[in-house]
Amino acid sequence: MPVPRVRRWKPLALTAAVLAGITVPATATATTSPAPAPAVTAVGAYDDTYYKDALGKTGPALKSALHTIISKQTKLSYSQVWDALKTTDQDPANSANVILLYTGTSRSKSSSGGDQGDWNREHVWAKSHGDFGTTTGPGTDIHHLRPEDVTVNSIRGNKDFDNGGGTVSGAPGNLTDGDSFEPRDAVKGDVARMILYMAVRYEGADGFPDLEPNDRVDNGSAPAIGRLSVLKQWSDEDPPDAFEKNRNQVIFDKFQHNRNPFIDHPEWVEEVW
């Protein structure tokens, strides 16, 4: 399949209304961008400690060094993920709510579940891509698990990421077609860096599949996800913001005690791929 031409894009403002097809609790409000998150520790401090064995490396050597570094982590159970996401994705403007990844809306932490109007746990690296399910490991790694509206999560399903498609009902700015999903502009880079984190963290050890990005869609159950060329451009055009950086810090400080290196060093995306 020929690789489609990647288009340039500009950030789109979210509409405040929630479209038909999704019931949102009265506590939910729309937001284009979360309020500034608390300041996090300067990344430079981690270069002398956490990342010291990766500095100066490129290509496969850098990927290998980062894998060794970030594989040292505390693993969560799938049930523990519920409470973790209530902290990692807390709305900076309302501590009773979480920010949903694709819709960008703020929804009550208590509205977690599986019914219409609830939010649930979205696997950004779809768990069927490698058949790792929800067992402790890649299926419970909160670096790629995010809160999302139940219906929108179902629409994304296990589709690969690419540009194009029709508008997702209830999630303005997101597009989808038969084999791919395009998130809203404000989180395109977030999605890319989560996917690339997973590809470095899970290299076939510990009984887990070797996850790798490729430049195709419709990957099915293979331990692969695409489209790499598009993900790289998304990461470049949507650099880490305060919310994403704070989330990385919270995961490191309170839960898994490992970091997403592509949030700390976005330039490493091009160095590895």
Residue 244 to residue 221: CA distance in whole angstroms: 29
- pLDDT(7) > 60: no
* Residue 53 confidence (pLDDT) above 70: yes
pLDDT band at 25 (very low <50, low <70, confident <90, very high): very low
User: Which whole number is the average pLDDT over 182-191?
Assistant: 98
Higher pLDDT, 252 or 25: 252
Whether the per-residue pLDDT at 9 is higher than 50: the answer is no
Region 205-215 average pLDDT: 95
Higher pLDDT residue, 124 or 13?
Answer: 124
Percent of the chain with pLDDT over 90: 82
Per-residue pLDDT band for 88 (boundaries 50, 70, 90) equals very high
Strands (DSSP E) contained in the chain are 29-30, 90-91, 94-99, 105-108, 119-123, 145-149, 160-161, 166-167, 175-176, 180-182, 212-213, 224-225
- Strand, helix or coil at 169? coil
pLDDT classification of 38: cutoffs 50, 70, 90: very low
Confidence of residue 206 (pLDDT cuts 50, 70, 90): confident
Taking residue 177's Cβ as centre, other Cβ atoms within 10 Å add up to 13
Tokens of 171: 């999630």
Measured in degrees and rounded to the nearest 5, phi and psi for residue 69 equal: -65, -50
pLDDT exceeds cutoff 80 at 21: no
Q: Which contacts of 95-101 are long-range, i.e. CB under 8 A and separated by 24 or more positions?
A: 96/27, 97/27, 97/28, 98/147, 99/31, 99/34, 99/147, 99/243, 100/146, 100/147, 100/148, 100/149, 100/152, 101/146, 101/147, 101/148, 101/183, 101/187, 101/190, 101/191
User: Which has the closest alpha carbon to 216: 179, 171, 164?
Assistant: 179
Region of poorest pLDDT, from 4-18, 113-127, 235-249: 4-18
The whole-number pLDDT of residue 43 equals: 54
Q: Is 197 helix (H, G, I), strand (E, B) or coil?
A: helix
Distance CA 252, CA 245 (A): 11
DSSP bridge partners of 119: 112, 149
The confidence score (pLDDT) of residue 10 equals 37
Per-residue model confidence as pLDDT tens digits over 148-171: 999 999 999 999 999 999 999 999
pLDDT tier at 45, thresholds 50, 70, 90: confident
Q: What is the pTM of this model?
A: 0.85
pLDDT, mean over the chain:
88
Residues found in the chain: 273
Asked whether the beta carbons of 266 and 215 are under 8 A apart, the reply is no
Tokens, residue 43? 């990344």
pLDDT digits (tens, 9 = 90+) for 129-151: 999 999 899 999 999 999 999 99
Q: What confidence score (pLDDT) does residue 130 get?
A: 97
Q: Is 130 left (phi over 0), alpha (psi -120 to 50) or beta?
A: left
